[in-house]
Structure 1
Amino acid sequence: MKKTIITLLLPLCSLAVLAQTKKPVAKKTTTATKKTTSVAKPNPVTFKSSLDSASYSFGIGMASSMKNEGLTALNYDLLIKGLKDAFAGTTPLISEENSRQAISNLFKTMSQKKFAPNIAEGKAFLEKNKTQPGVQVTPSGLQYQVVTRGTGVKPAATDTVLVHYKGSLLNGKEFDSSYSRNEPLALPLNGVIMGWTEGVQLMQTGSKYKFFIPYNLAYGERGAGADIPPYSTLIFEIELLKVTPPAKAAQQAQ
């Protein structure tokens, strides 16, 4: 930058000196002539082989996929270097683990920016909801409310539970319900989202609880299908009907 500024100043200094030392001269009338300059057009890309067209197609496909995920630009020099190093068998500049982490961090940052309203909505809801009568909060941030307290056994994380349930988003949209199907669901308690695994263990058989599950205890940054967007705080009503220990569940399955 400094060199550029000095370069620009030199002609100005020369003009100033000339203005002081030279005597004024009569101005000559000159006729300005316009010069037409033609802008060189870039040479059109031609595909000379199937490898050429496939190479370009790889680039288009990769970029389209990443663009759909919210990525708008890359460091193209390093992208090409990565491709060349991989094909040449050169030792990568970063480890495979660090590569996966870097990609994960990039997409996570973009996702959080894209779904910032979901995150803010969930945080505001939970802050207000925890002050409501009867709402209790666990150390993990799970919130729950006892609708009906049962008198049966509490399940362990390794048990299979039979439940009736209804799940909805904060806007009230219902995304799943065993009540609508008129059929309770049996599932292993350690095979569901963390909010369920933790919450249902608080219940006794015959209980009905209402759970308010932060996104990090639900489906997180990925969401679930078309009905549960990323970073969604979820509301579940769960009725615990039956608890089956692992050994007995295995016998029933056989």
Structure 2
Amino acid sequence: MKKLSLILLTLLCVTVVYAQKNKKEKKSKSKVEVVAPKSLPEITSYALGVNIADGLKQNSEQLGITVDWEWIVRGLREAADGKSQFDSAKMSEAFAKLDSLVKENRDIKARKQKEFLEENKKKAGVITTPSGLQYEVITLGTGDKPTLESNVEVNYEGKTIDGKVFDSSYERGTTTSFKLSNVIPGWQEGLQLMPVGSKFRFYIPSELAYGERGA
């Protein structure tokens, strides 16, 4: 998915091949029966609902907007019944306000990213490449360096500029493998700087990552 904010990425280049909740919740006095979907229409409809919710959640977080789930469900149900409270003019007005809010949030994030990178490049040990990629060498390995045609295996943790982890192979407990030419430009450039066995920290501007669109 797309990320507007600067990505702080720590990568451990492992290899390169060329060519229940902890605490139990108290039981509620009133039991709520959970009904599972059984028929094909029920199963596919439920799956569509989950997919819509996942997409809305990710997009709202990345765009910096707040959604009210009760009203989303109500909107879906009323629209399905042909009883929407909004006509086309009201819908256009609502989305115009949303677009304005999204643009404002993007501008704020872009400004924060620029300020961060300007300060970060002044720190000892931080190297800035001509493309704008910034990195620190934590551990320098002794193996070969990959090329764009290489398949690489890495451990990594990705963070937004505010320190929020959005993806981590460490949390999943397994390395990630991919062809270097298939990933974002910041990874392509950065990983080619890393001999096998290295550990680098990358500061990847949005233009070398996921651009300005939210995820």
Taking structure 2 as the reference length, the TM-score comes to 0.55
Counterpart of 1:219, as a letter, is Y
Q: Report the CA distance shift for 1:61/1:162 in structure 2 as closer, same or farther (over 3 A).
A: farther
Of 128, 139, 145, which aligns to 1:148? 139
The Cα of 1:194 is off from its aligned counterpart by 1.1
Q: Report the CA distance shift for 1:223/1:158 in structure 2 as closer, same or farther (over 3 A).
A: farther
In structure 1, the partner of 2:189 is 198
In structure 1, the partner of 2:163 is 172
Q: Report the CA distance shift for 1:189/1:68 in structure 2 as closer, same or farther (over 3 A).
A: farther
Q: Report the CA distance shift for 1:168/1:125 in structure 2 as closer, same or farther (over 3 A).
A: same
Measured in 2, the distance between the counterparts of 1:112 and 1:70 equals 6
Instruction: Say which SS state the counterpart of residue 161 (structure 1) adopts.
Output: strand
In structure 2, the partner of 1:214 is 205
Taking structure 1 as the reference length, the TM-score comes to 0.47
Q: Which runs of 5+ in 1 are unaligned?
A: 1-52, 72-109, 225-254
The Cα of 1:173 is off from its aligned counterpart by 1.0
The Cα of 1:195 is off from its aligned counterpart by 0.7
The Cα of 1:155 is off from its aligned counterpart by 0.7
Instruction: Say which SS state the counterpart of residue 210 (structure 1) adopts.
Output: strand
In structure 2, the partner of 1:63 is 92
Q: Is 1:111–1:221's contact at 8 Å kept on the other side of the alignment?
A: no
1:92-131 → structure 2 map (5 Å cutoff)? 112-131=103-122
1:134-145 → structure 2 map (5 Å cutoff)? 134-145=125-136
RCO (CA 8 Å, sep 6+): is it higher in 1 or 2? Answer: 2
Measured in 1, the distance between the counterparts of 2:135 and 2:193 equals 10
Measured in 2, the distance between the counterparts of 1:66 and 1:159 equals 44
Give the ranges of 4+ consecutive aligned residues of structure 1 lying more than 6 Å apart after TM superposition: none
The Cα of 1:111 is off from its aligned counterpart by 5.0
In the TM superposition, what whole-angstrom CA distance separates every residue of 1:54-107 from its partner, at most 9, and x where no partner exists? xxx883597268436516xxxxxxxxxxxxxxxxxxxxxxxxxxxxxxxxxxxx
Aligned length: 133
Q: Report the CA distance shift for 1:199/1:66 in structure 2 as closer, same or farther (over 3 A).
A: same
Name the % identity. 45
Instruction: Say which SS state the counterpart of residue 162 (structure 1) adopts.
Output: strand
Counterpart of 1:201, as a letter, is Q
In angstroms, what is the RMSD of aligned CA positions?
A: 2.6
